[in-house]
Amino acid sequence: MSDETNKGLLSPLRRKLLMGMAAVPAITMLPRASFAQTPATSAVNTTGLAVTDTEVTVGILHSATGTMAISETGSIEAEKLAIEQINAMGGVLGRKIKFIQEDGASDWPTFAEKAKKLLVNDKVAAIMGCWTSASRKAVLPVMEQYNGMLYYPTFYEGLEQSKNVIYTGQEATQQILAGLNWIAKEKGAKSFFFIGSDYIWPRTSNKIARKHVENVLKGKVVGEEYYPLGNTQFNSVINKIKLTKPDVIFTDVVGGSNVAFYKQLKAAGIDLSKQALLTISVTEDEIDGIGGENIAGAYACMKYFQSLDNPNNKTFVPAFKKLWGEKTVIGDVTQAAYLGPWLWKLTVEKAGSFDVDKIAAASPGVEFKGAPEGYVRIHENHHLWSKTRVGRAKLDGQFELIYETADLVEPDPFPKGYQ
C-alpha cells in the first residue's frame, strides 16, 4: 500500500524530475532507438501527460471508504489485477503502468476534486474510476474541461455520451430489453411490478422497462414503487405484491437495501422458485450480503456472471482469487472494471500514442478478445457491444447461466421511443 500511496504526495517533485529526464532525450534516445520496440516519449506523448521512457501513470478513482466502498472495492481489485497482468506482458508501448489511487470517499464532490487532482497535478494518461451515476456526473465536467480519459465500469442509465469517457458496463436498454423479452417468452409474463431505489438509474431503467412492457410486449405494469437509498422497510410493497399477484417482480433496488428486501420477501412467504423475480441490480457481490438462501431462484439480467464457462473466464477467475483471496466473488461490475485497463492498452497501441484526443478517436472498433465475458468491441458511441445474459441465483451465491443473446447487443444510450 505505502508504495503506491506515497506517489500522490511526492507527485509534484517527481513530475519535475521526470520532466528533467524528458529534457535530455538526445542522450537517452540514441541507444533506445537500437532496441527499436519502445517509441520515443516525445512522439507518443505530445500533450505533457505523465509518460516517461519507462513508465506511464494512470489513476484509479473509486470509493475506498464510505457506504460505496463495499461495491467499489471489487472494481479497484480488478483494475489492479489488469494493470499487473499488462505489466507482466511488457506494459503499454514498452512502458510499465504505474497507478495513483485516490479515494472518492462515497462523496460526489470529492470525486470531482480527486479527478481534477489526478488530471491537473499528476497528469495521468487515463483514469479508471467512478461507480455510481452521481459520481460520474460529478467527474464528467472535469474530464471534459481538462481533456482526460475515463473508463467507467458500472451498468448505468444511458442518456449520456462523451468523447472523454469509455463506458465498459452496459447502458440501460442493452441490459434490460433482452431480459424482459426472455422472461415474457419463457414465463408467458404479462404483468410486471417495478420496485427500485429512488435515484436516476432505477427511475430511467424502469421508464425504459415500462415502455418496453407496454409497447412491445403488450403487457401491463401493475405497480411501480421507489424507496430511498438505504431503506430497510419493504413490508408495504410486499403486501401490494401479494395483492396484485404480478407475473414478474422487476427490481432495481441497490446496495444494502437488498439485504432487507430479499429477507422480508422470504419472510412474507413469497417463494422465488414459484414467483418470478427479475433483478438488474444484484450481482454476486450483493448476494454475499443477502445470503444465497434468501435469493435462490431469482433471475438476474446483466452481461457477466462469475460462473460463465469460457476459456477467458477460466483463467480470469483463478487469477483474481490468487491475488485477492479465495473467498472473493466477482460480479458484473468487477468484470467491467477489469476491461478498463485492457481496452485502454489496446487503444493506445492502436493509436500509437498516449494523447487523449488520439485515444478518443481510435477507440471505436477496438476489440478485446480476452474479456472474461467473451469478445467485446467499442462502439462509435464509446459504449461496448456485449452480450446480455440471464442467470438464476443458486444457494451457494453463484448464478447459473440460463440464457444469453445469440449476438452482441448494440449499445444505444439515447434510445428512440423509450424516452
Among 187, 315, 400, 414, binds other proteins (CB under 8 A): 414
Q: Which is nearer to other proteins, 157 or 171 (CB)?
A: 157
Closest among 91, 89, 143, 88 to 116, alpha carbons compared: 143
Among 203, 220, 263, 350, indicate the residue that binds other proteins (CB under 8 A): 203
What's the min distance (Å) between Cβ of 285 and other proteins? 18
Nearer to other proteins, 109 or 352 (CB): 109
What is the C-alpha separation between 170 and 148, in angstroms, rounded? Answer: 21
Number of amino acids touching other proteins (CB under 8 A): 41
Cβ proximity to other proteins: between 135 and 388 the closer is: 135
The contact mask relative to other proteins for 66-105 (x = CB under 8 A, - = no) is: -----------------------------------xxx-x
CB of 64 to other proteins, least distance (A): 5
| Binding to other proteins, residues 181-200 (CB under 8 A) | 198-200
Residue 321 interacts with other proteins (CB under 8 A)? Answer: no
Cβ contact 35:28 at 8 Å: no
Q: Which of residues 237-296 bind other proteins (CB under 8 A)?
A: none
Shortest gap between Cβ of 323 and other proteins (angstroms)? 17
Q: Which is nearer to other proteins, 1 or 36 (CB)?
A: 1
Name the residue nearer to other proteins (CB basis): 62 or 345. Answer: 62
Burial of 88 (0-12, 13-18, 19+ CB in 10 A): exposed
Are the C-beta atoms of residues 106 and 83 closer than 8 Å to each other?
A: no
Torsion of CA 352, 356, 357, 360, to 10 degrees: 80
Q: Which of 228, 269, 325, 417 binds other proteins (CB under 8 A)?
A: 228
Q: Are 109 and 132 in contact (CB under 8 A)?
A: no
Is residue 141 close enough to count as binding other proteins by CB under 8 A? yes
Cell numbers 517533485 correspond to 13
Cβ closer to other proteins: 233 or 310?
233
Of the ranges 116-124, 363-371, 379-387, 392-400, which one interacts with other proteins (CB under 8 A)? 116-124
Which of the residues 7 through 26 are near other proteins (CB under 8 A)? 8-9
Query: Nearest approach, Cβ of 294 to other proteins (angstroms)?
Result: 27
51 contact partners, CB below 8 Å, separation of at least 6: 41, 44, 45, 57, 95, 125, 354
Residue 353 contacts other proteins per CB under 8 A:
no
Task: Give least dist CB 164 to other proteins, A.
Answer: 13
Among 21, 70, 134, 270, binds other proteins (CB under 8 A): 134
Residue 247 per-residue DSSP state:
S
- For the chain, the straight-line distance linking the first and the last C-alpha, in angstroms and rounded, comes to 45
Among residues 333, 323, 328, which one has the least CA distance to residue 398?
328
Dist. CA 121–CA 56, nearest whole Å: 15
CB 223 within 8 A of CB 244: yes
Residue 10 or 268: the one with the smaller Cβ distance to other proteins is 10
The distance from CA 418 to its chain's CA centroid, rounded to whole angstroms, is: 23
- 3-state SS class at 12: helix
Indicate whether 145 belongs to the interface with other proteins (CB under 8 A): yes
- How many whole angstroms separate alpha carbon 202 and alpha carbon 254? 9
Cβ atoms within 10 A of the Cβ of 78, count? 28
Cβ distance 78 to 138 under 8 Å?
Answer: no
Binding residues (CB under 8 A) for other proteins: these are 1, 5-6, 8-9, 64-65, 101-103, 105, 107-110, 112-114, 116-117, 120-121, 133-134, 137-138, 140-141, 145, 157, 159, 198-200, 203-204, 207, 228-229, 414, 419
